[in-house]
Amino acid sequence: MEYIRQVLDVKGRGFWSVGPDDTVFAAIELMACKQVGALLVIEDEQLIGIVSERDYARKVILKHRASRETKVREIMSDKVVCIHECSTINECMTLMSGRGFRHLPVTEGEDNHPVGMISTTDLVRSIISNQKSEIEHLKHYILG
């Protein structure tokens, strides 16, 4: 059984973030630069939201708003669901698929301090890697 902590150990810990008063344009620019689909929204060292390309498409583009004038706080999701780094990949997949999330902040400790971000792509890569390893172990076992 693999844990989210192990996925972060391979992927790398850390995350990209913006402030709630940053412009949506700045957020999208950072996402493009860092090649990520979502950013955590941090204020006073606290996680207060998440903003994604989906938020941009649905809450800015489709509503004919200006990304250089719209603040992140106006489009971010402020009811943030997180997963603890001690959770399993299966628990994470269940949560993400059940709620329609593509990105999920990862927290640690009792204060749920953010330590990373998991995407569905990260989970798929991890599952494929685990399956390849398992197949190799089985081949070696069968062939002696």
Per-residue model confidence as pLDDT tens digits over 99-134: 999 999 999 887 778 999 999 999 999 989 888 888
Compute the distance between CA of residue 45 and CA of residue 83 in angstroms, rounded to an integer: 18
pTM of the model: 0.88
Asked whether the beta carbons of 50 and 78 are under 8 A apart, the reply is no
Q: Taking residues 2-30, what's their average pLDDT? A: 95
User: Given this model, what pLDDT does residue 51 score?
Assistant: 98
Compute the distance between CA of residue 55 and CA of residue 73 in angstroms, rounded to an integer: 11
Per-residue model confidence as pLDDT tens digits over 24-78: 999 999 999 999 999 999 999 899 999 999 999 999 999 999 999 999 999 999 9
Domain boundaries, the chain: 4-143
Burial of 130 by CB count in 10 Å (0-12 exposed, 13-18 middle, 19+ buried)?
Answer: middle
> How would DSSP label each residue in 2-17?
-BHHHHHHHH-SB--E
CATH class of 4-143: alpha beta
